[in-house]
Amino acid sequence: MNFSEQLFEKIKEFASPKEISWVVSKSNGSLQSLQIAFVSTPRFISKTPILSTSVINDISINDWSLDRLVRVYLLTTIDGSEKDIYTKTLNSLFETAENNEAVALMSALPFFAYPEYWLLRSTDAVRSNIGLVFDAIVFQNPYPMQNFSELAWNQLVLKCIFNDKPIHRIQGLNERANQALAISISNLAHERWAAGRTIPAQAWRLVSKFINEAIFEDICTLFESHNSNDNIAAALVCKETNFLALKEELKKHPELDKQMLTWNTLEV
């Protein structure tokens, strides 16, 4: 069963017979009909929440709406054998998309043919000030993990941290941690501290493998914080790192050393 078929099977679990009939008729129609159906989906398909543990092509569809799922499915039925026609068709949808249509397009990126072709569209979404569109490319979406350069990836993660968004929902977060990102997190923390502010404690999960003297001092600062989440983050970094000075630092905080802590503790 291919990904398109898997999506359709999931649609059948949540759609009414009338909605299923509409989806079938449009998915079997012409290319123009598919484009029109993508835009008009909310007129015929409800916003029923999709509550599911299913993962399709590494994508969790939990908390999607049915109309979003249908739109993504319709996009996967577009023939990708002729690149020029395929990309022209999808680009026309991108260029005229309103917010919910853009969300569906971002959600469908992992299913698109020619994945490298869509990099500019995806990085533009990361720069978007439209929260729904930003969230669609960043969360529950493997496309950035699989295709972004280190620079683009770091910009995505830092924007989440800057806006206090739940970075644990970013796929590939731990796998794509890197030295440049760790240094950027340290620099952002210094800016925030100088202004009497903090960064989300979860951000420190990305520095454990990249400790230097400056980041060592940052972790010591976290131990002195009056915020218990900062203390937990400091302890977790110490438990994960091979930086010996931090192993010694943790011993000064036995109440944290003895606790069974995970980064899940800090997930909101």
Residue 31 lies in a domain: yes
pLDDT, residue 153, reads 98
Sequence letter at residue 219: I
Average of per-residue pLDDT across 51-66:
93
Is the pLDDT assigned to residue 96 strictly greater than 90? yes
**Residue 133 in domain:** no
Residue 190, domain extent: 179-266
Neighbours of 149 (CB within 10 A): 10
The string of pLDDT tens digits covering residues 201-251 is 999 999 999 999 999 999 999 999 999 999 999 999 999 999 999 999 999
Residue 96 inside a domain? The answer is yes
Q: Which of 92, 110, 128 is the last residue of a domain?
A: 110
Residue 55, domain member (yes or no): yes
Share of the chain above pLDDT 70, in %: 100
Residue 116 placed within a domain: no
3 state DSSP class of 28: coil
Q: Quick check: is 67 in a domain?
A: yes
**106 and 190 assigned to the same domain:** no
pLDDT of residue 28: 87
Domain-ending residue, one of 110, 131, 166? 110
Q: Is 223 part of a structural domain of the chain?
A: yes
Neighbours of 25 (CB within 10 A): 12
- Residue 36 resides in a domain: yes
Place of tokens 């005229």: 96
Q: How far is CA 64 from CA 73, 255, 265, in A?
A: 13, 41, 25
What is the distance between the alpha carbons of residues 220 and 229, in angstroms, rounded to a whole number? 14
| CA distances from residue 34 to 2, 26, 93, 189 in whole angstroms, order as listed | 19, 6, 11, 48
Beta-carbon contacts of 54 under 8 Å, excluding residues fewer than 6 positions away, are 6, 10, 60, 61, 62
Indicate if the pLDDT at residue 6 is higher than 90: yes
User: Which pLDDT score is estimated for 268?
Assistant: 67
Is the pLDDT confidence value at 165 over 70?
A: yes
Nearest Cα to Cα of residue 75 among 25, 122, 37, 120 = 37
Query: What is the per-residue burial (b if ≥16 Cβ within 10 Å, else e) of 45-74?
Result: beeeebebeeebeebbbeebbbbbbbbbbb
pLDDT value, residue 258:
86
Total structural domains in the chain?
2
Q: What is the mean pLDDT of residues 128-134?
A: 94
Tokens 């129609």 map to which residue?
A: 29
Looking at 84, 110, 136, the residue that finishes a domain is 110
1 has a pLDDT exceeding 80: no
Rounded-to-integer distance, Cα 87 and Cα 93, Å: 10
**Same-domain check for residues 101 and 185:** no
CA 122 to chain centre: 12
Question: Picking from 80-84, 98-102, 178-182, 257-261, which range would have the lowest pLDDT averaged per residue?
Answer: 257-261
Between CA 267 and CA 247 the distance in angstroms is 24
pLDDT for residue 97 is more than 70: yes
